[in-house]
Amino acid sequence: MTKLSVNINKIATLRNSRGANVPDLLKVASDIENFGAEGITIHPRPDERHIRYQDARDLKKVVTTEYNIEGNPIKSFMDLVLEVKPTQVTLVPDAVDAITSNAGWDTITHQSFLQEVIKEFNQNGIRTSIFIDTNTKLMEAAAKTGADRIELYTEDFATQFDLGNKEAIKPYTEAAILANKLGLGINAGHDLSLDNIQFFKDNIPNLDEVSIGHALIAESLYLGLENVVNMYLHRLK
């Protein structure tokens, strides 16, 4: 069964816009779990423009499902993850000033670096996932890093699906089949929504987890957070 992990960055963005604690990030995370989500995802960035490093520490005390922290493994991020010890760390090659994730890892060029980082996380009992495009050579190189999973970067699929091009799923299906052969678990994220999630899930064999934030929170403005979480769960099952 594919798990739903909800990225709550946008909740933090809303809170930070007024400088107080409304909405309460910790309560929202707990509520999302109570609504049925199987995980909470955060992606703290160095400028803390949405999720703050302290949020990562505080959430550890309240998250009872899977806790996933995403980010570029610079020293401050690594120190945070090793302190918090979430269920999973997802490594994303974000530039410091990136608005959102916009590319997967070049696992060939950065293989030795990733091996070092992943070894340290694994030694601390933290499952590791690499944010990656569907290129087969990069997938094969990812398997040599020691990572437990890959997270398929799904922006291109979502863009093409919106244009009516369902053939855009093919590289993702092929990547998932290869990942299975390589012994890698499969996560996915970026621009997945209520419109495309069921089609994506139905075409990705052994999809372990999806991480969804921006679309889910935007859809909740119209349909309500509890309702939307359950709509995703229905489509994933």
Catalytic residue among 70, 151, 209, 219: 70
Q: Is 226 a catalytic residue?
A: no
Catalytic residue among 33, 190, 209, 219: 190
Q: Is 190 a catalytic residue?
A: yes
Q: Is 83 a catalytic residue?
A: no
Long-range contacts, 213-216 (Cβ 8 Å, 24+): 213/6, 213/7, 213/8, 213/9, 213/10, 213/41, 214/7, 214/9, 214/10, 214/100, 215/191, 216/6, 216/7
CA geometry: angle at 50 spanning 49 and 55, to 5°?
120
Q: What is the spatial distance between Cα 189 and Cα 81, in angstroms, rounded to a whole number?
A: 20
Enumerate the H helices of the chain as residue ranges: 9-16, 25-34, 53-60, 75-84, 111-123, 136-143, 155-162, 170-182, 197-202, 214-223, 225-236
Catalytic residue among 33, 43, 66, 219: 43
Contact of 129 with 149, CB cutoff 8 Å: yes
The length of the chain is 237
List Cβ neighbours of 18 (8 Å cut-off, separation of 6 or more). none
Cis peptide before 205 (omega within 30 of 0): no
Which residues are marked as active site?
43, 70, 190
